[in-house]
Amino acid sequence: MEISRTAPPLTGPVVAAQEWRNVAFVHWRVAATTVAPLLPRGIVPDVFDGSSWVGLIAFELGDARVGPFPPSPVGGRFTEVNVRLYGVDERGRRGVVFRSLEASSLPAVLAARGLFSLPYMWARTAQRRHDDGWEYASRRITARPSGVGPGFQLRISVDTARVVDDALSDFLTSRWGLFRRRFGRIQWLPNEHEPWVLHPAQVAHLRDDLCAAAGLPLVTHAAPDSVLYSEGVTSRFGRG
């Protein structure tokens, strides 16, 4: 499957839909051998310019719905932060592999785990606008005596006067499916949305424990190799 900024149309019913708003994409180059052991069996690292990539993505998720039902009035809008990798299956389908997803809505966490087998974690998450960009924060809630786990803080500055449209940005953001393990086998869950409108951004501040907790220590100690921002899209998921 070639990388395309335009999603292939879903061929079956829409099983879920969500808004993704004010999205920060922060990425680092890593060796394919580093991420290969973290991918499900049968999925190999997707590579661009000789490297695989680790993504740390923060955004506001809203109007989440499952099947034909309207958005839930409880916990239907929250900040999400996820750690993701990129893989290819034996059929050549490219997709995201989530290592973790932080969300402040416990109903959404339980639903995503139960219905879609995604590794959502309950956390205190938030975001806010500042003069020339956005700030995002997360702190995982755990059963530790302290009650808190890995945390994350990010502040980016955005150049909304410029648009990024190149092969790397397409590789990192034009992902029309995700891989998940469900009932003992790997499934590919397709999605579609309008093409991203991406702007260049810079990291003004980053403190991250999430990548290390996801099995990727030291990655975020280095400066990121790509930082992008989008006002967002509305995404729809089909059946695998």
Token pair for 54: 């680790």
List, for residues 79-121, the tens digit of each pLDDT value: 999 999 999 999 999 999 999 999 999 988 998 898 889 999 9
What residue ranges define each of the domains in the chain, with the CATH number in brackets? 16-237 (2.40.400.10)
List, for residues 53-86, the tens digit of each pLDDT value: 999 999 999 988 776 666 666 557 899 999 999 9
**Chain-centre distance for alpha carbon 64:** 15
In single-letter form, the type of residue at position 31 comes to A
Burial class (CB in 10 A: 0-12, 13-18, 19+), 105: buried
List, for residues 165-200, the tens digit of each pLDDT value: 999 999 999 999 999 988 888 999 999 999 999 999
Q: What are phi and psi of 210, to 5 degrees?
A: -70, -40
How far apart are the C-alpha atoms of 135 and 79, rounded to whole Å?
11
CA dihedral 168, 173, 174, 180 (to 10 degrees): 120
